[in-house]
Structure 1
Amino acid sequence: MYEATIDALRRGAAAEALTAARATVDAQPQDPVAHRLLSAALRMGGDRDAALAAIDRAIALVPEDAQQHLERAGLLLDGRQLDEAQASLARAVGLDPNKFPAYVLQAQLAIGRGDLDQAESLIKTAARIAPEDPQVTALEGTLALRRGDADRALSILSQASQRHPDEAILRHALGFAYVAKGHFAFAEQAFRSLLERYPSNPLRAMVADLVRRQGRPGEAVDELLPILENGGGSPALQRLIGEMELEAGRTESALTRLKGVLVEQPRDRRTIAAASEAWRRGNGAEDARATLETLLAEHPDVPDLWYARLLFEPFASDAARVVVERWLAAMPDFVPALEARATIHQQAGEMEQADAIAHRITEINPGHAGAELRVIDNLMRSDPDAAVNQVESLLARARDEGVKRMLRQLLGRTFDAAGQYDAAAATWAELHAEAVPQRLPLPPLGDGVPELPPMAPVPEQAPGVAFLWGAPGSLVERVALTLDNARMPMLADRFGSRPPRDPMQRYGTTAALSDGSLDPSFLVNQWRATHAARGVKDGRIIDWLLWWDNTLLLALRPHLPEARLLFVLRDPRDMLVDWLAFGAPMPFALESPETAADWLAKALGQIADLRDGGLFPHSLIRLDDIAHDPAAIAQSIGDALGVQLPALSDGAQGPDRYASGHWRHYAEALAPAFAILAPVAERLGYPAR
């Protein structure tokens, strides 16, 4: 009676199964099995609502059948009706406590909603029923992964995959474990094997993303194109492919694709950003202006379109003024537009107009950080004591702890402007001391210059390699910004959320090199092994390091002699004041000015040792007198690298910092710390007083 339906279901013939199932139901309307099979046929054909109605009819006929409740839960999961699915699963378990699939699905739901303790309990129950089942092992590995233990997850899943090489659920979980460990090539292999057996757009997109993460964006595009060819090209996928094409250097193709998405979704910020970058790379300013003007005519209330339109006018130019005035006409009193207008006034030296707009913003949006800061900046120029009072007033009203910390940092700067240097130093030191538990410890430093191996000869036609480092307060970030602006192969990913996993990132490297537990050649090989994932294609790289120690020369001298070191310097005492007042690119713990000075003295002493001993090719980029001169910074870097670099535009290097020699105002307030720094300052050529 059921053979025709079951056979069609096994063959995936949805239409045949549906015809046979309907005939069976018509012949036996009170048969629950007939309704179950009809539900399965409808589900295969994509009619989930009708399938749900059919299984509900089967349950009404035999309400105590656990399998039927389990199948109902599956349909509800397909429709993302998670709470109702959970209820059906609970009913299935209540009817049959040994219903293994119900525990598996319940555990998956628990993991999905983040209830990891409940998931663990359900997994244990499932394991008692079927301890060797691959679904249990997959859940155990996934649970370990969700708890942050990627090593345990990888161990569980890799061993299980060896025992059950054809189990898709294990390969799927194993792929995510590899991703968590950063083993993208292995993850690609796992998901690609699944894609070959179970072709699907989500799996293809996963493989493409992993290919992209390995630095092969062009291949990633090729992986995704079949989805478009099969009619599965959503705007989000078109945008993703456009972004990958842009990354692969296919600027023209990327722009064509992204413009198509932008016309369809003119409010999508990510598309606007990607298209703007494509226009910039392709020197398409005229096309950008024309396209954006067309979109703005229909959508004048989209701020991101106005932001993009401003990108294609010279900064603070008359043309930019016109765009901002049109923006304000379309969106009166819109704070970001007012901020843009104030910035143009400030760049033109029209401080009175800029300050007036800042006051207007505080009227529209009381407590607006940018406007309040502009008002305070004005007061620091005209009436520093009033600036102190203004910040103290804001502090008294602030409720958010993050806002309070920012205001206290600013209070120190207003104390500085008012000449209250003891109060400024005390305020900053207190803030840093409070933040120590949330900060990274200072990188450990080796003792003195190790016994170094001889320099190896520089290989012929070796690609350009440089390492950039500057201690906190050196303003090394301005050098990094200049290099990035010039499209040099500068990488700042060590300071981001996904740093490379190589020995040059790890704190223990200094000690491991010193005691011999880390082989120097292995260090360099591991560093090179990260290049593909970091987007390095031809070996050319300027790697901005998190820390520097001369023990790295044990590896660089024999195994990377073609490299050059770029050290950014200022007077160490100015560096300490800057560190206290403005922080650093990486938030290192600063327990006290004296502790910071001691570490700074040792770190800079190593640079002096390297220079005095001629231990490795290097350049010292001193920013003392040029920190506020983008052209001079570009010239200094260019001299070090033997190239010509464009300067950053005015304002692009960030807010002004204290002038060279400002440290002397703190000669009394920071006397103990400065005494620690004086010897290394003299070694580096700075005056003792």
Structure 2
Amino acid sequence: MNQLISRLTRPVFATLLALLGCGWTARAVDAQALLPYTLPLDEERLTATGLTLAQEAAQLAQFQQYDEALARIQLAAQLAPQDPQILALMGSLHLQVGDSAAAVMALESAKAIDSDDSTIWFTLGSAYFSEAKYLQAANALEKGLGLEPGNSGAHFDLGNAYYKLNRYQKAINQYETAVSFDELFWPAINNIGLVLYEMGELEPAIEYWERSLDVADEEPEPTLAIAAARYAANINRPAAIESATEALERDSRYADLEFLEDNLWGTRLLSATEAMFRTPGLQEVLAGL
């Protein structure tokens, strides 16, 4: 979203108040009736007002005031319906409030006006991913990367789409590309471990999770993943349970299997984690959480 916000900085010379504040006096006729009068619309002023509202929406979004931002950007889109950046920001805000279907509609409209903006393609890919339309997500992200190949976040998102499509090696390739652009991108390193575990590669998966901890040692996700994998493989189970406890105490959200699934934990790892959670020691921890 920050990329969209930064592009909405064009100068604005009129406001909606200026449009509505130009008064007029009706001319009386012999029958003392008022002639109908239609206020002329100035397209340039309407567009300028739309941009002002879009700038306000962008500022509100920076402070995570998404509902207020969405109200302004929707009005901005009515005043400047052909501005792709306004439509793109509206799509991004719909995505932030969880309305992925509306996000797709807005972003498709933006793309139809400007198909050469990588940010629009990337955001559209995220919207399709949220709709569980992984093939469309991959296609949109590939289009965007054709325009901006050095975007590490987009490579990560494309890896996620390939992972959901069970194209495991292509997913790993995208995660590795993301890391090549940003060596501190621990989620990409972590997700290589997720893919490898689903492929049945236990030790390589653990190695990647350990690598992600080398970058972000306080992150609970790789710690919990290592614990679940070692518990399932019957490798020092007491130590695995201790590590899992530490991870859950850092972030209790990871005690929720649905949350783990949303974070792309696959069937094998979820099964291993659920089995580990049933141990008496962790049952006490989960009850406390």
Alignment TM class, shorter chain as reference: 0.5 to 0.7
Aligned equivalent of 2:143, options 177, 183, 193: 193
* Match of residue 269 from structure 1: 220
* Match of residue 120 from structure 1: 71
Structure 2 distance, partners of 1:276, 1:498, is 14
- Report deviation, 1:166: 3.3
Give aligned-pair identity as a percent.
Answer: 18
C-alpha distance 234-252 of structure 1, shift in aligned 2 (>3 A):
same
Instruction: Tell me whether 1:108 sits opposite 2:58 in the alignment.
Output: yes
CA contact (8 A) 1:123 1:139 kept: no
C-alpha distance 126-154 of structure 1, shift in aligned 2 (>3 A):
closer
Structure 1 distance, partners of 2:135, 2:95, is 19
Structure 2 distance, partners of 1:103, 1:134, is 14
Q: Secondary structure at the match of 1:226?
A: helix
Report 1:206-605 matches (<5 A): 206-230=157-181, 232-262=183-213, 266-285=217-236, 307-308=242-243, 496=258
Amino acid at match of 1:191: L
Structure with the larger helix share: 2
Q: Secondary structure at the match of 1:232?
A: coil
* Match of residue 34 from structure 2: none
The C-alpha deviation readout for 1:325-364, integer Å capped at 9, x for no partner, is xxxxxxxxxxx9xxxxxxxxxxxxxxxxxxxxxxxxxxxx
Structure 1 distance, partners of 2:110, 2:211, is 46
CA contact (8 A) 2:73 2:86 kept: no
C-alpha distance 215-143 of structure 1, shift in aligned 2 (>3 A):
same
Structure 1 distance, partners of 2:229, 2:101, is 40
The C-alpha deviation readout for 1:631-670, integer Å capped at 9, x for no partner, is xxxxxxxxxxxxxxxxx98859x89xxxxxxxxxxxxxxx
Q: Secondary structure at the match of 2:178?
A: helix
* Match of residue 203 from structure 1: 154
Structure 1 distance, partners of 2:100, 2:244, is 45
Amino acid at match of 1:139: L
- Report deviation, 1:202: 0.8
Structure 2 distance, partners of 1:536, 1:309, is 19
The C-alpha deviation readout for 1:401-424, integer Å capped at 9, x for no partner, is xxxxxxxxxxxxxxxxxxxxxxxx
Amino acid at match of 2:59: L
Instruction: Tell me whether 1:178 sits opposite 2:113 in the alignment.
Output: no
CA contact (8 A) 1:204 1:223 kept: yes
- Report deviation, 1:218: 4.1
Q: Secondary structure at the match of 2:59?
A: helix
- Report deviation, 1:273: 1.4
Report 1:146-157 matches (<5 A): 146=96, 148-157=98-107
Structure 2 distance, partners of 1:235, 1:157, is 29
Structure 1 distance, partners of 2:113, 2:219, is 47
Aligned equivalent of 1:166, options 95, 101, 116: 116
Structure 1 distance, partners of 2:243, 2:51, is 52
Q: Secondary structure at the match of 2:65?
A: coil
- Report deviation, 1:226: 2.2
* Match of residue 253 from structure 2: none
TM-score by length of 2: 0.59
Amino acid at match of 1:223: Q
C-alpha distance 122-229 of structure 1, shift in aligned 2 (>3 A):
closer
Amino acid at match of 1:205: F
> Where do 5+ consecutive residues of structure 2 fail to align?
16-47, 250-256, 269-276, 285-289
Structure 2 distance, partners of 1:272, 1:534, is 13
- Report deviation, 1:126: 5.9
Amino acid at match of 2:91: G
Structure 2 distance, partners of 1:135, 1:109, is 15
C-alpha distance 275-118 of structure 1, shift in aligned 2 (>3 A):
closer
Aligned equivalent of 1:131, options 47, 62, 81: 81
The C-alpha deviation readout for 1:452-480, integer Å capped at 9, x for no partner, is xxxxxxxxxxxxxxxxxxxxxxxxxxxxx
- Report deviation, 1:198: 0.6
Amino acid at match of 1:141: G
Q: Decide which structure has the larger Cα Rg and report it.
A: 1
Structure 2 distance, partners of 1:150, 1:221, is 26
- Report deviation, 1:150: 3.6
* Match of residue 627 from structure 1: none
Structure 2 distance, partners of 1:134, 1:649, is 51
TM-score by length of 1: 0.28
Structure 2 distance, partners of 1:149, 1:191, is 20
The C-alpha deviation readout for 1:475-511, integer Å capped at 9, x for no partner, is xxxxxxxxxxxxxxxxxx9xx5799xxxxxxxxxxxx
- Report deviation, 1:203: 0.7
CA contact (8 A) 1:134 1:169 kept: no
Amino acid at match of 2:198: E
C-alpha distance 89-157 of structure 1, shift in aligned 2 (>3 A):
closer
The C-alpha deviation readout for 1:599-634, integer Å capped at 9, x for no partner, is xxxxxxxxxxxxxxxxxxxxxxxxxxxxxxxxxxxx
C-alpha distance 243-138 of structure 1, shift in aligned 2 (>3 A):
same
